[in-house]
Structure 1
Amino acid sequence: MRLEPIQELSPRQAEISARITARRGGTRGPFLVWLRSPDLCERVEELGAYCRFESALPMRLRELSLLVAARHFDAQYSWNAHVDKAVEAGVQRECLERLARREEPGFEADDERVAHRFATEVLERHFVTDETFAAGLAAFGERGLVDLIGCLGNFSMLAMLLNTFQVDLQANRPAPFPDVHGFGRVEPEFAGGTP
């Protein structure tokens, strides 16, 4: 990670860290960066908890939206932290493996296909087509669609933080993306492994 570990938490940081640990089982990964700004950390953790645990979307689609954002931003830490959760929630591992390789995932469930298309359009094009919007509205309703955008925004912010501060990958997990080297995208001229 680009930042040195915090040597001693302030009382405010310790309070927030204790809350994070109580809800998430530990203060790790991105929260070790966000604690440098305790007020932001508190708000981001609350938003993230809503997106992960309380949103109108089913857990399967919450985890899928996180993985779509993680892949879009090459956020390997997020991917490693959530790919198994998505599978446990019901997303097919084979589809996620294709998503990791930037291939068409081939989701079988209609709501997964709609969520993927919606998320991909908004992340890549910054807009969604009328057809995709209508499909999203029919699949998720107004609240679900608003929550999907909230989740994508939250998970995109998470990905940018992880990549910017080069939060170390989990020791027991390999880098999941074949086209990413270290913390940045492989430059095209080095894609073959030799300059």
Structure 2
Amino acid sequence: MTVLIMDPAALPPAAKALYDEMAARRNAQGEHFGGPYTALLNHPELARRIEALGFFLKFEGVLPRQAYQFIVLSVAKATGAAFEWQDHVAHARAAGLPELVITAVGAGDASALPEPYDLLHAVLSRTLAWQEVPDDVQARVVERFGREGLVELVVLSGFYQMFAAINQGFGIGVPPQS
């Protein structure tokens, strides 16, 4: 990337202060910060708003952590977002997402997904194709995760599709192994 400032230390003072604030907030949750946000900080107000939504969905949302990580990995696999895949595999394991599920997502094989991942996949198969989620599937998700969970599921799909576009559009590479 040649036109964006991708080194946090080189950001203008206001953007650097925002980077430090967002990084501290993520670090307090035991999370690394950077990647696509480094590109977004070239538009600090947009970065602030996107990070606020991402923080809410990741740390304050109603979906269980395993469901959240399943959604992120599924969208990453479907969109070819190597950064998001690599960045979230360890988080998925730490959240308790079964290795069988991680392997199935990585292989693009939804045929043997256990509950509730088969249900989540049923939603994602529609949102990733930009299609309406059928009423019966929505009802099953509401029964399992509530109305707020259904809304979060669809929003998370779109949120990480947006991040796939940011990562690919700005050439955000695979994160360093920690």
Task: Name the TM-score class by shorter chain.
Answer: 0.7 to 0.9
Name whichever structure is richer in helix by fraction: 2
32, 45, 56: which one pairs with 2:38? 32
Q: Which residue of 1 aligns with 2:6?
A: 5
Instruction: Give 1:172-191 correspondences, 5 Å limit.
Output: 172=177
Does 1:170 find its partner at 2:172? no
CA contact (8 A) 1:114 1:139 kept: no
One-letter identity of the residue aligned with 2:138:
F
136, 143, 146: which one pairs with 1:141? 146
Instruction: Give 1:1-195 correspondences, 5 Å limit.
Output: 1=1, 3=4, 5-6=6-7, 8-25=10-27, 27-104=33-110, 106-108=112-114, 110-172=115-177
Structure with more relative contact order (C-alpha pairs < 8 Å, separation 6 or more): 1
Q: Which ranges of structure 1 fall in alignment gaps of 5 or more residues?
A: 174-195
User: Whole-Å Cα distance in 2 between the matches of residues 171 and 59 of structure 1?
Assistant: 23
Q: Which ranges of structure 2 fall in alignment gaps of 5 or more residues?
A: none
Output the TM-score relative to the length of structure 1: 0.80
CA contact (8 A) 2:71 2:156 kept: yes
One-letter identity of the residue aligned with 1:101:
A
C-alpha offsets along residues 62-102 of structure 1, whole Å, 9 cap, x if unaligned? Answer: 11111111112110110111112112212111222221121
Runs of 4+ in 1 over 4 A off after TM superposition: 1-4
C-alpha offsets along residues 157-190 of structure 1, whole Å, 9 cap, x if unaligned? Answer: 11110011111112439xxxxxxxxxxxxxxxxx
One-letter identity of the residue aligned with 1:12:
A
C-alpha offsets along residues 88-120 of structure 1, whole Å, 9 cap, x if unaligned? Answer: 212111222221121126232x22221121122
**How far does residue 150 in structure 1 lie from its aligned partner after superposition?**
1.8
Q: Which residue of 2 aligns with 1:188?
A: none
C-alpha offsets along residues 35-78 of structure 1, whole Å, 9 cap, x if unaligned? Answer: 01101000010011011111110111111111111112110110
RMSD: 1.9
One-letter identity of the residue aligned with 1:5:
M
User: Whole-Å Cα distance in 2 between the matches of residues 27 and 82 of structure 1?
Assistant: 12
Structure 2 SS opposite 1:124? coil
